[in-house]
Amino acid sequence: MATRWYDQVTRYQWLVLIIASAGWVFDVFEGQLFNITRGELLPEVLRVASDAPEIRQYGDICLAIFLVGGTVGGLLFGSLADRLGRRPVMVVTILMYSVFSGLTFFAQSLWQVAALRFLVAMGVGGEWAVAAALVAEVFPAKARAHASGIFHASSVFGTWLAALAGLAVGAQWRYAYLLGVLPALLVLWVRTRVKEPERWLKAEAKASEAGQVQLGSFRELLLNPRWRGRAMMGMLLAAVGLATFWGVTVAGQDLAAEVLKQGGASEKVAAKWAKFAYGIVQTTGAGLGLLAFGPLAVRLGRRRAFALVQACSLVIIPLTCYLPTSYWQLLIMLPFFGFFTLSMHAGFAVYFPELFPTHLRATGTGFCFNGGRIVAAPMLVFSGWLKAQMDLRLAVSLLGLGFVPGLLILCFLPETKGQPLPE
């Protein structure tokens, strides 16, 4: 008799999913906080008017710096998680992004903001790699894709929190970052409730017995032909998702602001309701897309699920840019825009841990997702330049073509549906 995917999931496995998801929620909160508040933050630290062209340009440069920081943190902490264990590294990464987000409250210049965003991103990138590996290792094979999809889909709560924080503090953006210290309390929960997965303990035992395996080795990851190809193609697939997210998906807020100002709204009113459109309305659709990816990956296979959502993104992006003629029409389109352009990100949590063996899982997962950040970072600088040179709708539509190479990359990656995790 067929059973539901969650029928054999234990109470402890649910607890791990909740803790990993909570860490990822605050990861995304810290990352999205800048996107939500940059309309108030950048004019103050740059000492320019709120409609100055530098705002959009330096905003995307700061996002690029965030991607680079995430790369450094993901590579460093992913390797350390394979060497030292999942729990201690998760504790360090949560503390890192919490403390440096809180210190942004005191920032007085652009370079200070940029440096703190880099350090926050290190914690964010490291925590995701560790949590994704942890969920994949703890859950049974039948439930793994669903649980990993739920883990990544929890990011929607982080965006909602960031949007609500931005709306609550208004122009007093510093207080939103002060709230970023609160995730540090999660560390107590991690330390007392999370245990090292049996798979990692066995890998550690092998490593200590005559050096049968080397934990967290970038040398093995990049020199072993089997893992190298997966790591490089996975990194490029993540780069597509991250470049289109920061260049296209987050532009939903700017699209809403432009529609509102064209309708006669003031700068302040447009900023407020653009945050609502992006942070609440679009993000609701994005969250549903993230939740849908796990079941899609189970039904269609990992590669076909990625292909489907990217192909749909190529259609929905120009429709969202050019079809609406009013704010309310745009609100109807934004959930679909968010659904398709963001859903593939849940696939990274499902797919990347399935590509690598236990002793390289966090290293490989972190390399793919966070290595993708460094590849995507130049696209953000280009994105900021492009949006400053032409109509925003055209710029976003052109940047959406980034999903085309994503479809080609899938041809070079293996299908992992129904396969056990590599050992």
Q: What is the pLDDT of residue 33?
A: 86
Q: Residue-wise pLDDT tens for the chain (423 aa)?
A: 457 888 889 999 999 999 999 988 988 888 888 878 888 888 998 888 877 777 877 887 887 788 788 889 989 999 999 999 999 999 999 999 999 999 999 999 989 999 999 999 999 989 988 999 999 999 998 899 999 999 999 988 888 888 888 878 877 889 989 888 888 888 878 888 899 999 898 888 887 775 666 888 899 999 999 999 999 999 999 999 999 998 999 899 999 999 999 988 888 889 889 988 988 899 899 999 999 999 999 999 999 999 999 999 999 999 999 999 999 999 999 999 999 999 999 999 999 999 999 999 999 998 998 888 888 878 877 888 898 889 999 999 999 999 999 999 999 999 999 888 887
Would you tell me how many other CB atoms lie within 10 Å of the CB of residue 68? 20
pLDDT for 326 equals 93
Please state the separation of Cα 287 from the chain's center in Å. Answer: 12
Q: How many CB atoms lie within 10 A of CB 423?
A: 11
Give dist(CA 298, CA 305) in Å, integer: 9
- Residues in contact with 266: Cβ distance below 8 Å, sequence separation at least 6, in sequence order: none
Structure tokens at 210: 């005559």
Residue reference for tokens 């969650």:
6
| The pLDDT of residue 167 | 79
How long, in residues, is the chain?
A: 423
Distance CA 54, CA 255 (A): 18
**pLDDT score of 210:** 55
pLDDT value at residue 2: 54
Tokens of 351: 């797919």
Which of the listed CATH numbers 3.40.50.150, 1.10.10.10, 3.90.209.20, 1.20.1250.20 matches domain 13-191+212-412? 1.20.1250.20
* DSSP for 361-384, written as a single string: HHHHHHHHHHHHHHHHHHHHHHHH
Contact 152, 23 (CB under 8 A): no
Boundaries of every domain in the chain: 13-191+212-412
Token duo for residue 258: 């432009």
- The pLDDT score that the predictor gives to residue 213 is 66
